[in-house]
Structure formats: structure tokens, C-alpha cells
Amino acid sequence: MPAIRVVFLWHMHQPFYKDLVTGEYRLPWVRMHALKDYYGMVKLLDEFPSVHQTFNLVPSLIQQIQDYVAGTARDPFLEVAAKPAADLTEEERRFALTYLFQANETNLMGRYRRYRELWEKLKNSGSDAARAERYFTSQDVTDLQVLSQLAWFDEFFLEEPDTAALIRKGSGFSSEDREHVVAKQRELLGRVVPAYASAAQRGGIEVSTSPFYHPILPLVCDTDAGRVSSPGLAVPTQRFQHPEDAREQLLRGIELHEKTFGVRPRGAWPSEGSVSDEVMRIAHELGLKWMATDEGVLARSLGVNFTRDGSGGLQPEAAGKLYSPWRFEQPGAQMDLLFRDHSLSDLIGFVYSGMAAKEAAGHFIHSIRKAAQPIVESGRDATISIIVDGENAWEYYPESGRDFLRFVYDELARDPQLEPVTVAEAIARQGEPPVLKALVPGSWINANFNVWIGAPEDNKAWDYLAAARERFAESEATVTPAQRALAYEELLIAEGSDWNWWYGPEHHSANDRDFDELYRKHLSNVYHALGQAPPDYLAQPIAHPEGRPYFVPQTAFIHPRIDGDPGRYFDWIGAAMYTADHRAAAMHGKQFMLDALYAGIDEENLYGRLDFIGPPPRERLEVKLHFATGAPGEAFQLSLTLASGMVVDWRLGHAVEGEVAQALAPGPGIEVALQKMLEFKLPLAAIGVNAGGRIGIRCTIWRDALPVDALPAEGEMRLDVLSETELGTRA
């Protein structure tokens, strides 16, 4: 019976939050995720010894965990949680109220009644820490200090007697409780890396590495690589071209892995799955045997299109190409490659958190079997690679997704046809793989690098990096070895992918300002280390409201889940986006309610998302989404009535003078949802749009029959109805 080999690669990564000059951590996420996700993900496999997996631990993450374990990490977030509430300054109390609530409202805060009470208390003050601070007693703050830490404790840690006793107590925590939960963290963090080392020594897992500070290696080698995968892309003014830095990043990752685990890694997940021919040559020279990336890179490198049906399945020929290890071969370079099944991986990342655990696990196993079916029926083995962020998804699952994973692992362990294997095991069992002679440079997102380069903010960040790198090259021979080492380290940190992840239009978070300031601080430290004054421009934010493009065209098909959940921002990667110009707020009396409009298509549907400024309005409003479909006088409108933060009525029909003149009978496939944002899905057929057509979209908000806001303010956002291949050529 042909085997279905299931390769899980869990990618564990956090940016380098530490300022090397001050020694202070700017954000706490290494500590928090090390408490909640990293330990439990590998510990769970003790229950399933036949389920082998690969874990990718980014070297800079390991280094930061080790810093915490050694007690040398200066973390202001932990310091605020550790200080007696009565001794906190007004500024520290506001800091606590701003940052100690940064947790999933349902699955982290919601598990603890008192934590949720405190959150509601803050929200009742408009989520404004300065306004709310006066209403929080010292006992309130102490309870917040304790619960904000417990909320991130791993499920395994919650079962330990001392932690379980605190949970049973629930509220009214003492100074001793606060001191205990803070001290406990160092002990728990100390278990993380040894758990991986132990599992690897037993042969249950393989641990792979990444470039040390998680840079996009093809762009570090040459920023012009962005134009290879996206012809016509705007690139930085100063070309950054330092393959020697890319080699150093990868070499340092390999060396830290060997120091930590006692063996050199066989393979690596290159940051964001970013590969190129040059990266393969560097990795081969350093002794790596395998790398992995996304199916989109394979498709573009082969010059084919991996078109999926409505349930995510591939045609047999495409499945035969994707569900196999490959071998990259060029003169002087050889590398085994695995390619990520985008559909199956994203089910874990973005879909199953909204389902019952057993139902989701059953659907997942069924999907694996269905994906492999064309290959198995031909008498061949199939290798399916599922490569997923190993940390961030679990906040959206009840109890960190442990029930879901247990159901999945149990089925994998019991079914003799399913073989859960490491990457190295999958390659060893493959036999002679098919050969790739060249790679189209790309990442796991749309097989290009557009998230990290091309937008004005992205390119400015690259220009600043290039200037600092040039100054280092000019000065390194005239400074002391210690100065040179510090300056170069800061450059390598600034080459990390995470800074540009938050620049540009694609991703935004509550910590945008922190990332911007930390990036510019790392670059400033380069100049300080060389004994020079940083350029004045490094004192100015890179991320400006006007730095966000007002319009970004669609570059890939999207398949978002319609639930109004803002945590699913990956769902909208590739969508068209139109951003409101809030600079007009200098005009007194103008009210802005709309922040951004997203829209995109797949083979059958139009999807849309409307982001409000702040929480969705609770007053009664009419939202009118107007769709001009190209034919003279032919237009449709989706009219929604909002009240109390809910959609209380909606109608779709032909539009005449801003009203639905003839409502269409409710048809299948239409979905509308409002939570933190408004989302909708309409079959293209419902609005009379065919391939090759164009949709003009405009949103208006009305109150008491008067217009309040519109996006775009003038005209419409245009969406071309093209194939995914045609959209990709415009990326």
C-alpha cells in the first residue's frame, strides 16, 4: 500500500527585541510565547512517540530565550508586572494598563473571570489607560499583574500544583502571589530548549535552523531580486547587495544550533520561505542538506499553475509535482527541497480555530487523504509538507489547540498508511527525486517579496540600511575590534525581515510604533558603535500615515473566512486595498468613520472587508456598498443596516440613484459578518460579472438619510476580474 508521508514543520520565530546598547527588551513576546507555545508544542509529542515532526527554531529566538533563562534580560514589561502595585508611578500604571491587556480576548483573557472583569473596566473608559488609571485600585493592578502572566502559561504548566492553586484563587492576589508568578517564569523558560534537545536525541523530532536574525536572504544578497519575481517593482534608491552578510547570517545560525544541540543541522527554513539560486549555493557551501519553501515558488519555477478546486484540491498532474521532495542541482550546488502545501497549512493557521476540535481534526485528516489520492491511486508514495507558524495561531484556539492536535496526532499514529515523518526522514524514504535546475526567487507569500520591498516605507527602510552598511564599510578599519563587532551585529539585526513586515500597507498592529522605533534604534546604534552621530533622519518615524499607499491593486486570489475577526489578516494578503486619507482631518468638522476598504476575488466570488476607525459604531447607520460592473447603467448595491454593533438587515439588488431599486431573492453563497470589522462575500454571478470584467467599488455611510463618510471619497476602487496567473504578473 503506497504511503502518505505527512511532514509537519513548525516554525518558531520572534524578532530580536533587545537593544544591544541599553540591554533592554522593547517588546515581551519572546518571553510570552516561550511560556505558552514553544514548550507545549514539543512536549505534546511525548504522548505520540510514533508521530515525528520537524521544528524550526530561529537562532535569535534561541539566543533571547537563553538570555531570559540566564537572568540577564532586562524586560520592562516583566518589571512592571513584578513591582508592588502601590509603588508603581503614574506612568508605570498607565504602561501596565496599556500592555498587560495585550492578549486574545476570548481564549486568554476569557479563561479568567477576574482578568475579563478588569478588561471590561478598561473598555468602559474607552480603552484609554490615562482615563482608566484613576479607577484601578492597587488590588486591581495586582490582580492584573498576576493574571496577565498566568494567561500565557502553557497548558502543561497550568497543571502544576503551585500554578493550579493560583488559578483556583482567581482574584485578590497577594504580593507573594505576584512574586511567585514572576519568579516561576524563569524556571519554566529554562525547560524550553532542553525539551527540544531531549526530543531530538530520542529521534522523535528534527530541529532545523534559519538565518540568525531572520533576514530575507535573496534581498540581502541583492535587493534587485525583488524585480525578478515582480517585474516593474519599485526598488530602493540605493541597491543593497551583500551576499557576504547572507552567508554570515546562515553560518551563525548553523553554529548556534550546533552549540545548543550538539550537532549541526541538516536543514533550514529560510526566513519567510525566501529562496533563490544564490541562496541555494550559499547553503550548499555551508553544508546544509535541505531547505523548504512554498508551493508557489515551485509552480513559478516550473512555469505551471497549481489551480485548486473549491475544496482546495489539485489536479492529479499538479499533485504529483507538489507532493514529492525535489532536488535543486546546479554546478557546485545541490539541495533537497520540500514545498509547502499552502491550502492544508492555512487550514491550521486560519480556519480550524473556529471549529470544534474533533470535527476540525477529522476534516484535516480527510483533506490530507484527498490531496494524496491521485498519487496513491497511481501506486506511488506521497509526501505532503505542512509548514505552519508554530506560535501565533494557538491564541485563536481554545486551550492553545491541544485538543485539536491530540485528535490529529492520534489519527496519524493509528493509521498505518499515514506516516508522520521529519523532513530528513521524508527525503531519505523518497528515492531519486525529480530535479530543479533553477528557482524563481520568491517567498511563501505570493512567491514574491512584495511584503518586504516595493512600498515607499519598505524602500526607505532599505535605503537607511544601505547607508548604515556603507558607513560601516568606510569606518571598520579605523575602529577598535569591539566597536566593529557591535556595529556589525546591529547591522545584521537590522537586516531581519520583521521590520519591513510592519512597514508598507500589508500589516499593522498595536505595536507598529514600537517596531519602527526599534528598527531605527538598531541603525542608530551602528553609528554610535563607530563613534559617529547618527543621521538626523533616523530620529524621524519611517511609518507615517501618508506613507501608506492609498490604493494597492489585487495581486493574488484570496479566500478569506467571513467572520469579522481582525486576527485573520493573512486572509487578506493579495487583496486590493484603498486607505482613507485622514490628513483632511485638519478641516474642522469632518467626521471619519472608515479607515480602509479591502476587496478581492477568487474563481467564483467577490470578497470585501471594511475597517472602521476604532470599534464598529453602535448607532443606527446605513452602509451602502456600490458595485459598478462596467455595462452602462448596470450596477448593484449591497445595503446593510447596522445597529448596536450588529447587522440587523441587508439587501442586495440592482442600484438606481444610490438605492436598491429591485432586491434580488437571497441566493446561496452570500455571507455578511460584523465583529471588529465588516466583511462580505458575494458570488460574482450574483452581480453579473464575468472573467475579464471590471468592478468599481465604493462604500458610503449614511445617518438619518445624510452621508457621513465615503471611501473612496471620490470615484471608486477598481477591481479587475482576472485569473490568478494574470493577477500575479501585476504583483
pLDDT higher than 50, residue 546: no
Q: How far apart are CA 721 and CA 251, in angstroms?
A: 45
Take residue 79 and report the three cell numbers written for it: 518589571
Residues 402 and 507 in one domain: no
Report pTM.
Answer: 0.80
Answer yes or no: is 276 within a domain: yes
Report the percent of the chain where pLDDT is more than 70: 94
Residues 314 and 241 in one domain: yes
What pLDDT digit, counting tens, does each position of 114-163 carry? Answer: 999 999 999 888 778 998 999 999 999 999 999 999 999 999 999 999 99
Lowest-confidence pick of 135-144, 539-548, 599-608: 539-548
Residue 558 is classified by DSSP as -
Q: Verify that 144 and 56 share a domain, yes or no.
A: no
Mean pLDDT is highest, among 247-256, 305-314, 526-535, for 247-256
- Whether residue 447 is contained in a domain is answered as no
pLDDT in the model for residue 585: 33
Crossing angle for the helix pair 243-261 and 192-201, to the nearest 10 degrees = 80
The residue among 547, 563, 593 that closes a domain is: 547
pLDDT tens, residue by residue, 674-685: 988 999 999 998
Separation between Cα atoms, residue 412 and residue 425, nearest integer Å: 16
How many alpha carbons lie under 13 Å from residue 709 in its C-beta half-sphere? 22
Q: What CATH number did the domain enclosing 429 receive? A: 3.20.110.20
CA-CA distance, 371 to 369, in Å (whole number)? 5
Cα–chain center distance at 654: 39
Domain-terminating residue out of 188, 216, 238: 188
| 3-state SS, residue 56 | strand
The residue that leads in pLDDT, 223 or 131, is 223
The answer on pLDDT for 351 being more than 60 is yes
**Do 234 and 296 fall within a single domain?**
yes
Summarize the confidence of residues 309-325 as an average pLDDT. 90
Residue 682 pairs with which residues in a beta bridge?
A: 606
Q: What is the pLDDT of residues 369-411, one digit of tens each?
A: 999 999 999 999 999 999 999 998 898 899 999 999 999 999 9
587 pLDDT higher than 50: no
Would you say residue 375 lies in a domain?
yes
Q: Tell me which of 43-57, 482-496, 545-559 is least confident.
A: 545-559
Average pLDDT over the chain reads: 91
Residues 426 and 463 grouped into a single domain: no
> How far is residue 287's CA from residue 268's CA, in Å, rounded to a whole number?
11
Q: Would residue 421 count as lying in a domain?
A: yes
The CATH number given to whatever domain includes residue 517 is: 1.20.1430.10
Query: Looking at 188, 209, 226, which one is the last position of a domain?
Result: 188
Whether 443 is covered by a domain: the verdict is no
pLDDT for 254:
98
Phi, psi of 600 (to 5 degrees): -170, 165
Residue type present at position 501: W
AA identity, residue 231: P
| pLDDT at residue 197, as a whole number | 98
CB contact set of 187 (below 8 Å; sequence gap of 6+): none
Q: Are residues 174 and 207 in the same domain?
A: no
Task: Look at residue 556 and tell me if it is in a domain.
Answer: yes
Number of domains present in the structure of the chain: 4
Domain region containing 635: 551-729
Say if residue 538 is in the same domain as residue 557.
Answer: no
pLDDT (mean) for 686-700: 87
Ranges 430-439, 636-645, 715-724: which has the least confidence = 715-724
For 611-658, the pLDDT digits (tens) are 998 888 888 998 999 888 876 567 888 989 999 888 988 888 887 655
Least confident window among 195-199, 310-314, 495-499, 690-694? 310-314
CATH number at residue 674: 2.60.40
Q: Are residues 221 and 366 in the same domain?
A: yes
Residue 707 and residue 567 in one domain: yes
State whether 116 and 31 are in the same domain: no
Whether residue 569 is predicted with pLDDT greater than 80 in this model: the reply is no
The residues pairing with 640 across neighbouring beta strands, listed in sequence order, are 623, 650
Question: In this structure, is residue 450 part of a structural domain?
Answer: no
Q: Same structural domain for residues 419 and 339?
A: yes
Is residue 113 in some structural domain? yes
Q: What is the pLDDT of residues 451-501, one digit of tens each?
A: 999 999 999 999 999 999 999 999 999 999 999 999 999 999 999 999 999
One domain for residues 622 and 709: yes
